[in-house]
Amino acid sequence: MSAHLKQDEPDTRNVLDGMEQGIIGQPLARPDGLAKVTGTAPYAAEYPVADCLEGVLVTAPFTRGEITAIDKASVLSMPGVVAVIDDERLTARAAQGTAGEAPEQPAREVGYFGQPIALVVAQSFEQARDAAKHLTFDYRADDLDDVPLDPETAGAEPQDGATRQGDLAQAMSAAAHSVDVTYTTEGHNSAAMEPHAAIAQWDGTKLTVHASLQMLNYNIAELADALGLQEEQVRLISRYVGGGFGSKLGISEETVAASIAAMELERPVRVVLSRQQVFQTIMRRSETKQRLRLSADKDGHLTGFGHEARVSQLPGETFAEPVLQSSEFLYAGENRLLQLEVARIHRMTAGSVRAPGEAVGMPALESAMDMLAQQVGIDPVELRLRNIPERHPSEGLPYSSRKLAECLEQGAKAFGWDSGARQPRQHRDGEWWIGTGMASAARVHNVAEARARVTLKPDGTALVETDMTDIGTGTYSIVGQVAGEMLGLPMDQVLVELGDTEFPRGPGSGGSWGASSIGSAVFVACEELRAKLASKAGVSTDELKLKDGGVVGGATLVELLDGEELSFEGHYEPGDIADDYTASGYGAFFAQVRVNRFTGETRVDRMLGAFGFGRVLNAKTARSQCLGGIVWSIGTALTESLLFDPVDGHVVNCDLAEYHVPVHRDVPDLEVIMVEERDPAASPIQAKGIGELGMCGGAAAIGNAIYNACGARVLSFPMTPDKVIAAMPD
Amino acid sequence: MKPFDFQRADRLEHAAQLCADEGTRAIAGGTNLIDLMKLQVETPQTLVDIHRLPLGRIDDTDDGGLRIGALATNTATAVHERVRREYPLLARAILAGASQQLRNKATTGGNLCQRTRCYYFTNIDQPCNKREPGSGCGALKGVARLHAVLGTSDECIATYPGDMAVAMAALGAVVEIADAKGHTRNVPVRDFHCLPGDTPWRDNVLEDGEIITAVILPPPVAGRQLYRKVRERSSYAFAMVSVAAIVALEDGRFTRADLAFGGLAHKPWQDPRLSALLLGKEPSAKLFDEAADVLLDGAQSYGENAYKIPLARRTLTAVLAEATGMEL
């Protein structure tokens, strides 16, 4: 049986808070934690599959052109080599998140340096890797003079959907205070620990693939489409995912290549991308160039708000880093201009990487806000508070629930923020200037259609099944907590099975929508189960109080079920509510940094984030998400940058030694405040997205603290020592 | 990775004999060589495992110095009681490099022989005169962020990436090298690595069939020892610029100023003009500036590494100020 909810109205019943079990929101340990930390949780490439062949992708050593011939004989006589796969169906790129269809094919048409073009399959991984380096092929490469590689000089197209309201130029010239500044950010790699990997098995009628993927519900359609199969012929399994960060939203080249090879050779085939291939072929976050224009009256009330950004993308791809997403609604200003443009260049595909849009848009905006506060001469916290709009400034919609002011105020208090006059170079510790900075956080709230099956067994335990993934975020925990809270079961009486397309289709993990979407589907199923139980207990659903496996003061579930199994598939759809409210997570970051006055090195002394994102489903995993986000904020601010060769566009720093994510020593004690909130318009469980919010603006708190410390206003992220020195006043 | 033969040497002479063949590489910790083999940057026909040779000891020398065996791990050296007490510069330099896990495996000899991290050297789809003589230098027109500003050539602008050797150069250490016939020769660390010139494939003076057996530190000297490594990430990153310094003052004047620099050249960089300038003079901001002028008078940048010239100046100033207790 199924139960369906299309949410067109806020759910103000606040059902979860009326339950008896008392586990929702609790900081419970992950049920999957022990398996993970003891190394017994199998990741995609680790499934023991008998008789498995190993495949290694061959990549193009040129930027744009065509493979005209592949000389398979050049490697087929090498030891252990079984086959060279150069099928027309090999994909040239990864699929964009939620694409639901095959990415660009065939792989022979090359659009970026390092694009996979063929797969060499051998008995052992070492044999396949060696042979992959020896495969010879003919190609026609376009003259690099004709291939646009530089986003600065390449032709650009404006994106549809610009916001134009009033007259920004006029507002700027008439304003008491104004800031007109251009920031740049560099490309990012998702940098998940687990590389992309797949083991494909074909039994003649059905393809089963263990893969490292975030969104099986879309991935099954992408893979089936790429291979020319029906979805019913494909099964995807991703029980554990070693980090996705956007890079596993869509299928990537190894999944298709392993599948084709397994079907052709009728043997299981494993393909794991090397770390270098992850950097070369998996989606990058586009670099950005952003012009901010802010105008304000003498008291700092915004009168104009301009945010224009240029990003880049391969020709033919529709995704554009949504830099302006939260700028649309975060602050006031009646004269508005928000415009995104896309330069077409031949670097690998740009796509979703950890908080696409706000991860780079918010740092630029919040840096400009700091400059405005300095100019107006007011506390930067106060500037934000003064510019929280009543309604969406261009669309006029109300906000669903918004704790921005509370985050700013509670964060400032907990951090010990000094709201007095701010001047650079007020504090020194030996060679180090010390300063503080802050920024707002915002990340749009997303929800997606989701299905989950909840089954009450005659023994009184519950089973939840969905193809939803846990990419390290805590899905196993929160799904169990929603079901346990609704059904009156402790966590050890709820078994959660995820990551298998044989189960009902979940929303997938991405855009921070996982918890609220799948949680809602589980909630919908549990409401029906509760109705059934209530009728068995002879009470109304509202009166039904369930705790610890039974009705409070009454029958146990085992007695109520009396040998029957009850099962509902919950089906949640977001509905029209998104048209009625502006829904977003909000927060505030506060940072103290030290900047070396000689070398320009910056170290973060301490950092605090205060966030409001609706109901917290598990305080431990939610906090961990926030901590992770703040770490990415530190990386964005200080270290992370994809470097591209100017001659042929290849990524030069393609491993974790040269692509610098923060190390432990870069991460000080972090403090997280989760502001109490229920957002009835966000989802029927009153929860919003958490995962990405922690990195949406945090880099600006660090950048603003660098300015406050030493007086260097660096207009480019990451703020590496060379840039800090160049901007540092003598 | 190409298939290769693997042999284990139990005696030094045997190891040296095996290594006399072109296409043979000695392997100890393997923290750099194995990575490069996976990338097919290094394609030895034979690996000679030398890690069982009795070269792991750290011993006092008769003259009061210290002999660090070629197979002593970086961790063992960094935590050695005399190294910490009498050669703190060396301990600090080692601890500034790599990660704990890598230092547990990496050896003295292997660290000296580690290869550049130039992005073009480690990518076989790119030109590199060091990896493939005559193919060109991808870094010259490419991303040269890590690259050298001193002692470069038109053929190669790569840097020597290590920290340990920079400290050893400042300490006046000597590399002990043996060959298959049992002969040994000693080469000062400062002369061990080569400048690229027109033979950029040559990292150092080791000949085929030679094996590093030890690094010998001279008796400790009086003075402050500092190692300053500048980088945007505070661990597990190569130096943008590093400075090793042993500095002593008497009556307010320099009596010792042994300096070496990392991140600037194809080798740990030393310039004898620096100590000549500093010795006998009183520390001052002006003097430090003059020292930087001397250090950098031949510096040449290649696009993205231009920052290294001002950064080297500022870092030298910071180190000299700290070593002399000056407040600038």
A130 in contact with B, Cβ within 8 Å = yes
Q: Using the beta-carbon criterion (under 8 Å), do A639 and B123 form an inter-chain contact?
A: no
The partner residue sitting opposite B142, judged by closest CB among A652, A657, A726, is A652
Q: Give the closest-approach CA distance of B198 to chain A in angstroms.
A: 24
User: How far apart are the C-alpha atoms of A214 and A220, rounded to whole Å?
Assistant: 11
Q: Using the beta-carbon criterion (under 8 Å), do A129 and B141 form an inter-chain contact?
A: no
B interface with A, Cβ–Cβ below 8 Å: 1-3, 38-40, 117, 119-120, 123-126, 138, 141-143, 145, 228, 230-237, 240-241, 307, 310-311, 314-315, 317-318, 322
User: How far apart are the C-alpha atoms of A570 and A492, rounded to whole Å?
Assistant: 22
Q: Using the beta-carbon criterion (under 8 Å), do A599 and B314 form an inter-chain contact?
A: yes
- Which residues in chain A have Cβ-Cβ distances shorter than 8 Å to B2? 130, 133
- CA closest to B305 among chain A residues: A722
What is the share, in percent, of chain A residues with pLDDT greater than 90?
A: 99
What is the share, in percent, of chain A residues with pLDDT greater than 70?
A: 100
pLDDT > 90? residue A1:
no
A692 is catalytic: yes
Q: A83-130 pLDDT, tens per residue?
A: 999 999 999 999 999 999 999 999 999 999 999 999 999 999 999 999
Whether A44-145+195-281 and A397-446+583-727 share one fold: the answer is yes
Average pLDDT over all residues of chain B: 97
What pLDDT does A730 receive? 82
Q: Using the beta-carbon criterion (under 8 Å), do A646 and B141 form an inter-chain contact?
A: yes
Q: Using the beta-carbon criterion (under 8 Å), do B318 and A645 form an inter-chain contact?
A: no
A61 in contact with B, Cβ within 8 Å = yes
Q: Using the beta-carbon criterion (under 8 Å), do A130 and B126 form an inter-chain contact?
A: no
When pLDDT is cut at 50, 70 and 90, the band that residue B229 belongs to is very high
Rounding to the nearest 10 degrees, give the CA dihedral for residues A365, A368, A372, A374. 130
A347 in contact with B, Cβ within 8 Å = no
User: How far apart are the C-alpha atoms of A86 and A104, rounded to whole Å?
Assistant: 15
Provide mean pLDDT across the span A197-221.
98
Assign domain A397-446+583-727 to its CATH architecture.
2-Layer Sandwich (3.30)
Q: Which helix (DSSP H) or strand (DSSP E) does residue A626 occupy?
A: helix A619-638
- How many C-beta atoms lie closer than 10 Å to residue A347's C-beta? 27
Tell whether domain A44-145+195-281 is in CATH 3.90.1490.10.
no
Best to test chain B binding among A126, A280, A601 (most B CBs inside 10 Å): A601
For the domain covering A2-41+448-573, report its CATH number: 3.30.365.10
What pLDDT does A348 receive? 97
- Among A556, A530, A565, smallest CA distance to A457 is for A565
Q: Using the beta-carbon criterion (under 8 Å), do B125 and A638 form an inter-chain contact?
A: no
User: How far apart are the C-alpha atoms of A459 and A74, rounded to whole Å?
Assistant: 62
Q: Which domains does chain B have, with CATH numbers?
A: 225-324 (3.30.390.50)
Q: A413-423 pLDDT, tens per residue?
A: 999 999 999 99
Provide mean pLDDT across the span A556-580.
96
Catalytic residue among A328, A671, A677, A692: A692
Q: Which tokens in the block code for residue A508?
A: 């997938």
- Which residues in chain B have Cβ-Cβ distances shorter than 8 Å to A645? 126, 138, 142-143
pLDDT > 90? residue A286:
yes
pLDDT > 90? residue A347:
yes
A714 in contact with B, Cβ within 8 Å = no
Domain residue limits, chain A: 2-41+448-573, 44-145+195-281, 397-446+583-727
What pLDDT does A600 receive? 98
What pLDDT does B328 receive? 86
When pLDDT is cut at 50, 70 and 90, the band that residue A430 belongs to is very high
- Which residues in chain A have Cβ-Cβ distances shorter than 8 Å to B120? 652
What pLDDT does A578 receive? 86
- Which residues in chain B have Cβ-Cβ distances shorter than 8 Å to A603? 234
pLDDT > 90? residue B26:
yes
